[in-house]
Structure 1
Amino acid sequence: MKIYFSGSIRGGQQDTDLYAELIQELKQYGTVLTEHIGSKTIDTTMTDQEIHDRDVMWVKESDVVIAEVTVPSLGVGYEIGRAIDMKKPIICLYRTINGKSTSAMIRGCSELQCFEYSNISKAKEILKTQLKTK
């Protein structure tokens, strides 16, 4: 299974350790096309166009999209929208922080499976349950 993992890169650097742990977990279910999301450094050698084209190609190539949507991100929202158009199965994970939840546009979309989690163990349980049926 090819997995496209999506998370806020430029606005979500505080979550890179979490992303890295989720990516490590996802590797037991298949190939994670976007391991760089869990890196603390941002690749500045690619143009915006190259990043866009590569990521859209990876979404097309993927069997499932997993999006960590706690930190709002235009890029993650764009990827989710493209994945919906491509009829990809999409799992969104989010945490409620300081009483703030994720977007109603995400939680209210019937084409997404959205799950709230409070810690990494709960997120891993959700992934295990959801991915064993894919």
Structure 2
Amino acid sequence: MVKIFFSGSIRGGGKYRASYLRVLDFLQSYGEVISEHFEPGNAPASGEGVDDAAIYARDVRWIGEADLLIADVSQPSIGVGYEIALAESLGIPVLALYDSRAENPLSAMIAGNPRIPVLRYASHAELWPMLDAALVSHAVSRVKKF
């Protein structure tokens, strides 16, 4: 079973929480989703009540166990950027999702990285077929590259 780490802005991305949960629901049919957003009871978007050191240790461990990191990069986040860089340094493929209606432009560090495909979408209906194609491609190849 493919392990997918989903990354999205927690502390600064509250307005995307509903979108993250929809993406997570979609991803469950492709493998085991491991991420803070998907803990039992849906942990608070701000990470309240969890020690920062514990969050760091847990997420680093989960990223190391992942076969694929999918990051919603619609809301700028230092944490998401760190997780992407960590996955990339470990040879774990990264797929970025970017809502073209976002208030902030897509980071050049993501848009300009030839190893990170970016799925640009304006609705979930538009995202699902693109995400499906990327995930099917990844599952078929089962190599650590897109």
TM-score normalised over the length of structure 1: 0.92
Give per-residue Cα distances to partners, 1:51-86, cap 9 Å, x unaligned: 001001000000000000000000000000000001
**Are 1:28 and 2:32 counterparts?**
no
Query: How many residues are aligned here?
Result: 134
**Are 1:129 and 2:129 counterparts?**
no
- Measured on the aligned residues, the alpha-carbon RMSD in Å equals 1.8
Percent identity of paired positions between Structure 1 and Structure 2: 36
Question: Partners in 2 of 1:98 and 1:130 — Cα distance?
Answer: 22
Q: Which residue among 38, 42, 61 is the counterpart of 1:57? A: 61
Question: Partners in 2 of 1:37 and 1:13 — Cα distance?
Answer: 15
Partner of 1:83: 87
Partner of 2:143: none
Aligned 1:37-48 pairs, distance under 5 A = 39=42, 41=44, 42-48=46-52
Letter in 1 for 2:9: S
Letter in 1 for 2:123: N
Question: Partners in 2 of 1:5 and 1:97 — Cα distance?
Answer: 20
TM-score normalised over the length of structure 2: 0.85
Partner of 1:15: 16
Question: Partners in 1 of 2:48 and 2:99 — Cα distance?
Answer: 29
From the superposition, tell whether residues 99 and 69 of structure 1 become closer, same or farther in structure 2 (CA, over 3 Å): closer
Deviates more, 1:58-67 or 1:30-39: 30-39
Deviates more, 1:70-79 or 1:120-129: 120-129
Aligned 1:66-77 pairs, distance under 5 A = 66-77=70-81
What secondary structure is seen at the aligned counterpart in 2 of 1:132? helix
Shift, 1:98, TM fit: 6.3
In the alignment, structure 1 segments of 5+ residues that lack a partner are none
Question: Partners in 1 of 2:67 and 2:23 — Cα distance?
Answer: 17
Question: Partners in 1 of 2:38 and 2:74 — Cα distance?
Answer: 14
In the alignment, structure 2 segments of 5+ residues that lack a partner are 139-146
